[in-house]
Amino acid sequence: MSKKPSRLALTRRREAAIQRREWRNSPEGRLDAAGRSKYEQMNRRALWLAIEWHLPRCPKIGRTITAELVDYCQIHGVSVEWLIRGDLKGLQRMMEERRARSAAATPESLKEKLSRLSDSEREIIRRMIGQMELS
């Protein structure tokens, strides 16, 4: 003879089933169901980034995160959160940090770029700078 579950137990089961269904239908749930945190996906993201940024190949990602992988991420400015979870906010933050590091031009690089311009192009730039100073 089996004991019937109480009304409270049935309600909790029903609510848990609803929450699971809602989670699976959410963007996060769909990504989890697609296997975003599987190590194959992590290796795919790391390979894409290495090719895109011209970095050395990332150490192989297995079932555990190694110190070698963490060092690689720190040296090259890779977001571990993005690498593990596929978090797009992490990717966006990582790209912005990379742009900010490489955006600052040195005086030498500016002189070299200016030397490649023609006299008429230099005159246009002088006028633009003069207008900016007046504003």
pLDDT at 81: 85
What tens digit of pLDDT does each residue of 71-92 get?
999 999 898 888 888 888 888 9
pLDDT at 1: 56
* Residue 113 near residue 92 (C-beta atoms within 8 A): no
Average pLDDT over residues 3-20: 90
* pLDDT at residue 103 greater than cutoff 70: no
Q: How far apart, in whole angstroms, are the C-alpha atoms of residue 20 and residue 30?
A: 12
- The domain locations on the chain are 7-36, 37-104, 105-135
Pure H helices in the chain:
7-25, 27-33, 39-53, 67-76, 80-85, 88-103, 107-115, 119-134
Half-sphere exposure of 14 (CA within 13 A, CB side): 7
Q: What pTM did the predictor assign? A: 0.54
* pLDDT at residue 24 greater than cutoff 80: yes
